[in-house]
Amino acid sequence: MKSAFTLSILLLGLVILSKGQENEDQSSSVPVWTEEDREYLLDNLIRSKIELAEETSGLTNEQWNFKENPDRWSINQIVEHLAIYELIFINEISVALQIGELPQITKYAPDSLFISQDSEGLKRKATTDFTKPFTYTIPLGNNEGKNNLTWFLKMRNESIEFIKGETSNLRIYYINFGPNIHQKYLQAFTHVDRHLRQIRRVKTHPNYPGL
């Protein structure tokens, strides 16, 4: 029964993809994951991890939990949100690896689509628009900030070690028939970059403790 269900989901995804083949922005050949791709991911996943650790190093409890106003997230909540999403990303990647390679998919979106989603100046959907009717990506702020950072770093380090040693073609494993694994990791570090900018804005607020 489980195998039949999985097959039906795969077939449904292939039908959806085939209907989008008219998109001129999509490529038309089987993609290849190169050593340059590996190094690009490693450089940026490591860089964004280090920057997050540096931006939150030595913060006092008051600094972790300072809010620009009651409707904005504290640095603690921002890092909790990043940890939640890091878990979501690696879960999606794990599922894609279990499904296996799909080299028969020859129409796929360009990398630029998954980098630009977190660029400054773009109008983004609310966090809960991606999780309706659930709100699991909204941080509660109940944990200590340093513990949220430890949670994030644990998962990010596992991804870095995975990429260092992986030999298969990560461009032919797909997440929900959308981005491939390489592109999902593009989303992972650009997501951190966006929230690093948010953390830096919080720290420049005139009422931020210690200024």
The residue among 196 and 116 whose pLDDT is bigger is: 196
Q: Residue 203: which of 86, 74, 96, 111 has the closest Cα?
A: 74
Residue 95 pLDDT: 97
For residue 195, give both structure tokens: 């929230």
The residue among 185 and 104 whose pLDDT is bigger is: 185
Instruction: Kindly report the average pLDDT of the chain as a whole number.
Output: 85
**Mean pLDDT across 178-192:** 96
Q: Which residue has the tokens 């983004």?
A: 124
- Confidence grade of residue 75 (pLDDT, cut at 50, 70, 90): very high
Please give the single-letter amino acid code of residue 95: V
Residue 116 pLDDT: 60
- Confidence grade of residue 12 (pLDDT, cut at 50, 70, 90): very low
Domain boundaries defined on the chain: 34-203
- Confidence grade of residue 151 (pLDDT, cut at 50, 70, 90): very high
Residue 3 pLDDT: 46
Counting residues of the chain whose pLDDT is more than 70, the rounded percentage is: 81
Question: In CATH, which of 1.20.120.450, 1.10.3720.10, 3.30.470.20, 3.40.50.1980 is domain 34-203?
Answer: 1.20.120.450
Q: What is the pLDDT of residues 157-183, one digit of tens each?
A: 999 999 999 999 999 999 988 999 999
Q: Residue 173: which of 96, 89, 92 has the closest Cα?
A: 96
Residue 16 pLDDT: 39
Please give the single-letter amino acid code of residue 191: H
6: pLDDT strictly greater than 50: no
**Mean pLDDT across 83-103:** 96
Residue 126 pLDDT: 59
* Element spanning 51, H or E: helix 35-56
The residue among 75 and 141 whose pLDDT is bigger is: 75
Least confident of 11-15, 115-119, 130-134: 11-15
Residue 180, SS3 per DSSP: strand
